[in-house]
Structures are given as structure tokens and as C-alpha cells.
Amino acid sequence: MLKIDGYSIELTRGDTLRLTISLQDSEGNPVTLTDQDQLWFRLKKKAKDETILIEKSGDPVQSLIELDEPDTKDIPFGKYKYEIEVVTSDDEHYTVIANQDFTIGEELENH
């Protein structure tokens, strides 16, 4: 099951997640990333934890983040925090989604 409510995400452990990120500048104009930019997804138990449970690069041209079964299959059920960051080709860092809820839910069977 996948449920997205605002920026909060609920995902059944082991399921696939594909997020297309819509980026805008401070004036509301669309921002298009290039293959020279980077797009990152990070998941932690709590925002201030040192340990990163998932860190995946996305496709900046498509503004796409993908999590597949191996990414969540060993993470315990529960509530976590995630962020999405853009690093431009000029090495500018922008956290476009920060400290949002991410819940990993139980599946009924193991594969």
C-alpha cells in the first residue's frame, strides 16, 4: 500500500515507491534539473540521528526518486523521517523536502 498525504508517506515494507518531484523557484516558476545535477532521498529514524537508513540518488532529469523492494525489506515497521535534497552542478545544496513523516507498514507475507 502506498499513501501520500501532503508530504507524509506510508509505504508497505518491500513495496515500490516512485516519486516525481515538482520543483519551483521562489517566484513559483518551474525548475528543471539537468544530468549534471543530483537528486537525493534520505531516510532516518529521527531527523537528528546520525545513521542514514536509506540514501538513494534519483534521476534529476526526470525529477524521479525510486525505492524498490530491497531498499525497505530489512527496515523494521514504524515511523521515520525523510528528506529530499537537490545538489546543483554549481555545488549549491537545496533541501526541497525536509523532516517529513515516512511510515513503513507491515506486509502480510514475506517474499
Contact 83, 56 (CB under 8 A): no
Of 54 and 1, the one with more pLDDT: 54
Sign of CA dihedral 40, 43, 49, 51: negative
Question: What's the pLDDT at 39?
Answer: 98
Whole-model pTM: value is 0.91
Domains of the chain: which residue ranges?
2-22+30-105
Give residue 111's pLDDT band: very low, low, confident or very high (50, 70, 90): low
Instruction: Give the residue from 82, 91, 84, 83 showing the smallest Cα distance to 37.
Output: 91
Give 2-22+30-105's CATH code, choosing from 3.40.50.920, 1.25.40.10, 3.40.50.2000, 2.60.40.10.
Answer: 2.60.40.10
Reported as a single tens digit per residue, the pLDDT across 33-89 is 999 999 999 999 999 999 999 999 999 999 999 999 999 999 999 999 999 999 999
Q: Reduced to 3 states, what is the DSSP secondary structure of residue 71?
A: helix
* Model confidence at 110: pLDDT above 90: no
Structure-block grid coordinates of residue 45? 529514524
* Model confidence at 109: pLDDT above 70: no
Exposure of 100 in the CB half-sphere (CA atoms within 13 A): 16
Burial class (CB in 10 A: 0-12, 13-18, 19+), 104: buried
Task: Let me know the angle formed at the C-alpha of 8 by 95 and 46, rounded to the nearest 5 degrees.
Answer: 65
Question: What's the pLDDT at 108?
Answer: 76
